[in-house]
Amino acid sequence: MNKDLKQYNEKAENLILEHLSGGNISDVIRKASTYSVEAGGKRFRPYLVFATLKSFGLDPAAGLSAAAAVEMIHTYSLIHDDLPAMDDDDYRRGKPTNHKVYGEAAAILAGDNLLTESFNILAQDEALDADIRIRLVQAISAAAGQTGMIGGQMLDIDAEGKDITMDELVLIHRHKTGRLISAPIESAAIIAGADDDTKALLLRFAEYLGILFQIRDDILDVEGDMSKTGKLSGSDARKGKVTYVSTYGLNGAKEQLDLLKVEAEGILESLSSKLDTGELYSVLEMFAVREQ
């Protein structure tokens, strides 16, 4: 990540943490909500807002509330995903999961809170016109809800233990993870007042990023374990999950990744007459070669 832009990630985190302290009437909700935000993470999503705004020649600070909102939604989805009734995970990022620390009831409510307050942060951002803000609420809620992330999460749960095709898997990924990778890029385009063509190209670029993200995840699941265990079997294989690696093999998945990267570069090429695409090339590179 570009150092100049990374500082906006810190500002977005501070905005979230300040918001969670302001007026919160329950100490437990404040602590439980804050805990998962402070647990860290790669912060790819807020970074995408800032990188895209920079490609428009705009001040990344204009995207702080949108970046905060998307990261809060990502964080809430992890808290609820980790619950016993969902993935039942005890650890995330090396720390006990939210419900392990605060109990299930507080974890459910902390997740609900981050989701609710994400829209409050957006609505409160008076630096943006009301028209821009309402379009951000619309785009981000659409990406997070039944036509996006939540729809994809449910399809994923439904698919457990079933033989699914690669097409079905792609549909799940496009929604479960893809839409919340597109949302920050779409948000930046809304803030920038992008014309329809530019926005459409950016959204296509974002869709490639989302698939790249998933393929890289599947590769890391194998190679990450290899570096530790010397074996080819990661947790996906143990769970019998259909992945890019299980379908195309490790080399096949890498070839897919390279191919999609070339296509995404083609989209950036088309955008280069309108945007300063340097930062978006870096983002693409980052998604394709990330080690974590």
DSSP3 helix / strand / coil % (the chain, rounded to 5): 75, 0, 20
- What are the E-state strand segments in the chain? 91-92, 95-96
- Whose Cβ is closer to a copy of itself: residue 148's or residue 234's? 148
Nearest distance from C-beta of residue 135 to a copy of itself, angstroms: 8
Per-residue DSSP letters for 91-147? EETTEE-HHHHH-HHHHHHHHHHHHHHHHHHHHH-TTS-HHHHHHHHHHHHHHHSTT
The count of residues interacting with a copy of itself (CB under 8 A) is 57
Q: Exposed, middle or buried: residue 259 (CB in 10 Å: 0-12, 13-18, 19+)?
A: exposed
Helix (H, G, I), strand (E, B) or coil at 284: helix
Nearest distance from C-beta of residue 19 to a copy of itself, angstroms: 9
Task: Confirm or reject binding of residue 85 to a copy of itself (CB under 8 A).
Answer: yes
- Whose Cβ is closer to a copy of itself: residue 83's or residue 226's? 83
Q: Which of residues 131-150 bind a copy of itself (CB under 8 A)?
A: 131, 133-135, 137-138, 141-142, 144-147, 150
Contact 67, 184 (CB under 8 A): yes
Task: Confirm or reject binding of residue 1 to a copy of itself (CB under 8 A).
Answer: no
Nearest distance from C-beta of residue 139 to a copy of itself, angstroms: 9
Contact 202, 194 (CB under 8 A): yes
d(CA 222, CA 5): 31
Nearest distance from C-beta of residue 206 to a copy of itself, angstroms: 18
- Residue identified by tokens 């993935």 is 87
d(CA 91, CA 156): 21
Helix (H, G, I), strand (E, B) or coil at 237: helix
Nearest distance from C-beta of residue 191 to a copy of itself, angstroms: 14
Q: Which of residues 44-83 bind a copy of itself (CB under 8 A)?
A: 76, 80, 83
Q: Which of residues 103-132 bind a copy of itself (CB under 8 A)?
A: 103-106, 108-109, 111-113, 115-117, 119-120, 122-124, 129-131
Nearest distance from C-beta of residue 289 to a copy of itself, angstroms: 31
Nearest distance from C-beta of residue 129 to a copy of itself, angstroms: 8
CB within 8 Å of 169: residues ≥ 6 apart: 159, 242, 243, 247
Task: Confirm or reject binding of residue 226 to a copy of itself (CB under 8 A).
Answer: no
In the complex, the residues that contact a copy of itself under the rule CB under 8 A are 20, 23-26, 28-30, 33, 76, 80, 83-86, 99, 103-106, 108-109, 111-113, 115-117, 119-120, 122-124, 129-131, 133-135, 137-138, 141-142, 144-147, 150-155, 157-158, 171, 175
